[in-house]
Chains A and B, each alone.
Chain A
Amino acid sequence: MSTASAVAGRVEINGLVFNPYSKDFIRDPDPAWQTLMRDYPIAWHKDLQMWLVNTHELCDKVLKDNRFTPNFRAWEFAPPSKAEADKNDFDLSFEKGFFAVTNKEHLRLRKLTMPAFARPVMMKIDAKIHDLVENCFNDIGNVQEFDVYEALASKIPVRSIARMVGVPTDKEDFFHDFAVNIIKATRINLSAKEREASVQGTLPGFAYFKDLIHERRARENPGEDFLGSLVGANDNGEKLDDHEILSVLFALITAGSDTATDLHTFLIHGLLTNPDQFELLKQKPELMENALIELLRYGSFGKMPFFRFATDDTEFEGQFIKKGQAIGVNISAAWHDPVKWPEPTKLDITRRMDGNLVFGAGAHFCIGTYLVRVQGMLMLKEFIKRFPNAELVNGTGDIDYEYTHHNARRINKLRVKTNVKAAH
């Protein structure tokens, strides 16, 4: 059923065309994505009150176009700025963060922080979090069946980030709440009341990390670990201040904890529903990194798009976008764009991934990309080592979703049959 209309030339759709909250969409999103890409590459969504950009080509353009900012404060419905004296640590960290600063300042921040996120450094993280991953598998043991979400996905990401930034494991829940609140604090699909509650929920976490930063600054040498490298970062005499460091933690947590939960469930789901590709990966482990990116593309776990906001009145692809309007960059759809990805619903771990948008594109490319790769590859290697003959229980893993999740098509139940011999 088409609901497109041409009001002053504007292509419009509504929830009948794309409803990211519907159970049908969450279970099987591809038909809606294909309709959007084929019929509405760009359209105003009347129910979501935002533009939606859907094809690979257009998503790539928006992500690389500086007229569209990820700064939530540029949104037409953003809460008004607070007086300086009323700003809390969340406000100050957000203002100094990657999403809010000018392009020049953003490049400076990236230069100062990239050494801590570069591939060689992240590959060394492997050694730091390997035991965490092993321990999750040790806890599973020699059982006949287990739930991927409970045993792996809900544990590995938050423990990995906590280890990376120096949070003790007994503060795992505290850290997890901090991470979820950070993400929810600027989600425009939530109510202002929910966002404000999330902002308040971040404050104990910010206070905790400020203390850690001050403790490192007081040392003669701030340390060689991740936090130490941020405290010690120096570019021609320029250093990061407390709220800039907090803003980096903000970005890391956003990129690496809640989102990475879906990484683990979708990696295993993708492989076990494609036994030929599971077999190929076991035979050719050198394909691991490519497989991980292809599995993310194939699973495409996003529910809501990335958000951008128009910094000025602008014409884009024949549509007039007003200053402050939100643009939903529907990269989950773009990952299934048949123009870019022939047979998009086929998993092919040998596929060339050049030009993929799996970690975004342009100036705000995912800063945690290598961390996510390390974490995912460690988990997959261990999974293959322990359960090389694994299958999904009843062929589907008795899969279920957290339908109310604010951001992702979150799988919260995925049962695996291990096919290991029971211990006697």
Chain B
Amino acid sequence: MQKWICVICGYIYDEAVGIPAAGIAAGTTFADLPEEWTCPECGSPKESFEVYAE
């Protein structure tokens, strides 16, 4: 499981957690998010995300 950061706003998508409130189950990989999915914080497209290493 990886974490991904939106380089526009800093929002972090954690695959282990998902976004249950938005119907994205824990364990959903970033690659499995729909292509039209956008950052829930700033609305940027998927290509604005990078793997986030803490």
Chain A positions near chain B (C-beta within 8 angstroms): 60, 64, 107, 110-111, 114, 117-120, 122, 354-355, 359-363, 365-367, 369-370
Contact = CB atoms under 8 A, between A and B. Distances in A.
A117 B50 contact: no
B54 A365 contact: no
A354 B39 CA distance: 11
Contacts of B41: 365, 369
Contacts of A117: 10
A111 B7 contact: yes
Contacts of A111: 7, 50
Nearest to B54: A120
Q: Which of B8, B40, B50 has the most CB of A within 10 A?
A: B8
B7 A361 contact: no
A372 to B, nearest CB: 12
A118 B44 contact: no
B48 interface: yes
Interface of A is mostly: helix
B43 A361 contact: yes
Nearest 10 Cβ contacts at the A-B interface: A365-B42, A118-B10, A365-B9, A110-B7, A114-B7, A361-B43, A111-B7, A365-B8, A119-B10, A117-B10
A369 B9 contact: yes
B10 A363 contact: no
A114 B16 CA distance: 22
Contacts of A60: 43
Interface string B1-43: 0000101111110000000001000000000000000001111
A362 B10 contact: no
A280 B41 CA distance: 25
Contacts of B7: 107, 110-111, 114
B18 to A, nearest CB: 16
A369 B10 contact: yes
Nearest to B12: A119
Contacts of B8: 110, 114, 362-363, 365
B48 A354 contact: no
A369 B48 CA distance: 17
Contacts of A367: 9
A362 B22 CA distance: 19
A107 B43 contact: no
Contacts of A361: 42-43
A114 B7 CA distance: 6
Nearest to A370: B10
Given A64-B43, A107-B48, 10 more contacts: A107-B7, A111-B7, A355-B43, A359-B9, A359-B42, A362-B42, A362-B43, A362-B44, A365-B44, A369-B41
A55 to B, nearest CB: 16
Given A120-B54, A369-B10, A114 B42 contact: no
A122 to B, nearest CB: 8
Nearest to B11: A119
A370 to B, nearest CB: 6
Nearest to A352: B21
A122 B5 CA distance: 14
Contacts of A362: 8, 42-44
Nearest to A120: B54
Contacts of B5: 114, 118
Nearest to A235: B50
Contacts of B54: 120
Contacts of B9: 359, 365-367, 369
A118 B12 contact: yes
Contacts of B43: 60, 64, 355, 361-362, 365
Nearest to A361: B43
A363 B44 CA distance: 6
A354 B40 contact: yes
A111 B42 CA distance: 15
23 contacts: A64-B43, A107-B48, A110-B8, A111-B7, A114-B7, A118-B52, A119-B10, A122-B10, A354-B22, A354-B40, A359-B9, A360-B42, A361-B42, A362-B42, A362-B43, A362-B44, A363-B8, A365-B8, A365-B44, A367-B9, A369-B9, A369-B41, A370-B10
